[in-house]
Structure 1
Amino acid sequence: MDVLVWGPMHPSLMQSLEEHYSVHKRWEIADFTHWVALHGDSIRAVVTSGVYGADHQVLEQLPHLEVITSFGVGYDALDTAYLARRGIQLSNTPDVLNNSVAETALALMLCVSRRVCEAERFVRAGKWREAKFPLGNDLHGKTCGIVGLGKIGKTLARRVSAFDMNVAYYRPNGPYAEVSYTHYADLQALATAADYLVVLVPGGPQTRHLINRQVMRALGPKSFLINVARGSVVDEAALVTALLESEIGGAALDVFEDEPHVPAALLEMDNVVLLPHIGSGTHETRQAMADLVLENLDTYFEEGRLVTPVAL
């Protein structure tokens, strides 16, 4: 079976794909026009990720494409309406990364509140011999406001509850019946109540710049913004301004609007923690994601179904 792989994937996934399929590596194809003339008709599956996506110009030249399996839970880099029109099925890798992303969010909360990264730089620079490091902030007793109480959000809620934090969440369509956390239908109201506002909604047009200047002003100068969702969800220019004008206490970010480019102003701020999109970046989680991508592909060609289909 011919499979087009969009970009370099997890080593074990690449090995398994090459053992069971005829793999074509998109990033190694120098003359795509020549390649597609030879192989375009034979490609029945594409393997990609939430980072790579898949552009229409290529997909249009794969007339017999049936399925796309994506490495990652987010699929905002793919045009689901286009896939639906063509009848192309899509799978992602939900659930297996819930714990690691929630742990990353918690790590960012701890780092920005206890000034861990700043303190580490303080020690390395030899400043400890000359002065005491400034105080940080406790997590316990504070309110963690979660924007997007999906599976990852609920996993984070359990983690922060163990730190004796109060949990509140934003959901415009009303509260979840199965949880007792405080519900807010208004995002600015949640931001006002929160000491830490953690962003966990999917990316895409519907959530673009959901966290805007008004939300940041509501968050206030003693509270912190944590983003482990997608960079597009936060208005990055507004965030820089809010930080420069001390409208919020600080920020901890794993994602950015134009990755891997980070605004220069953020690099200069001590009250900002910056990570290179490592939310699911553990050996165990990435292996589980790789296994699920392969399971989706195998199950589709063996049984005509996907293990974790995305509703288009």
Structure 2
Amino acid sequence: MSLLERLNRHGFVLVPKAFSGEQLETLRQATQEVTAYARDGKWPDVRTLPKQFPPWTSTGPNPASDGIWGVQGVMHPDMPHHDVFIRTYFADAIIEPTLQLLQCKRQDLVLELFNLLVRPDHDFELRWHRDDIAATASPEEELERLNKPAFSAQWNLALYDDASLVVVPGSHRRARTETERTADAFEKVLPDQLIVKMEPGDIVFYNNNILHRGVYDSRVERMTLHGSAGHVDGAKLRARNVLQHGLRTWIKDLNFDALDGEGRALAEHMRANLVKMGQEAGDVGYSLQE
């Protein structure tokens, strides 16, 4: 069964050992330093506890003072090791599966998100959700969105063992059941749920409107890169989910000196597609409120 067939059937697909050896060690070192930088209050764009979804805002000299569970914008030109992260985002190990899953050519790709998910400062859980469908949506509203193409390949790249992502396989193809709809937002176990267990270097691609949640243990090291790329035909549909993360303010300043040849040309083209998305989208608001 192909990657696309597995994604379509289950809503997620695991690519084992996509990164290994020196690549993995380089990413571990870079993410450790970036996380320390953010925890020290030197990076303003962090996922603050206990807020689950954007926007993340904080007051005071250290945005991370109340704890964080993620670092945003790792390709930003002011981010330490941004060159390492840029090479990773545009690596064949990510681009090739993305092309397979989106069934498109390179010129159709849109640069989207690239962030880092880290061990929280205290235990933390996300509610059951779909990334771009509100919990208050009716079954008809859910199906209206779910029946449209995803137009995005979203993924997690684990640098350490990671069992944080919990999904309900197949839920990306249907509205929530009555049990799912009436369950507590933080229900520990839903029927047929699956914990996605990843080893270092594994990538999981998943439909971001699958019913899922995150469960994060403050005692367990976590460095998981979290990214996505889109298809130009879905720019209008994807705009809110992407632009709510604040990319418009700095995407034109991205520095692709870490790339050359075809890789740099692809990066420039994908950025141009994102800039166009931002210009055409206007005020997009936020997908979820929690």
Q: Same fold per TM (> 0.5)?
A: no
Q: Which has the higher helix share?
A: 1
TM-score using structure 1 length: 0.23
The higher radius of gyration belongs to 1
Q: Tell which has more relative contact order, 1 or 2 (C-alpha 8 A, sep 6+).
A: 2
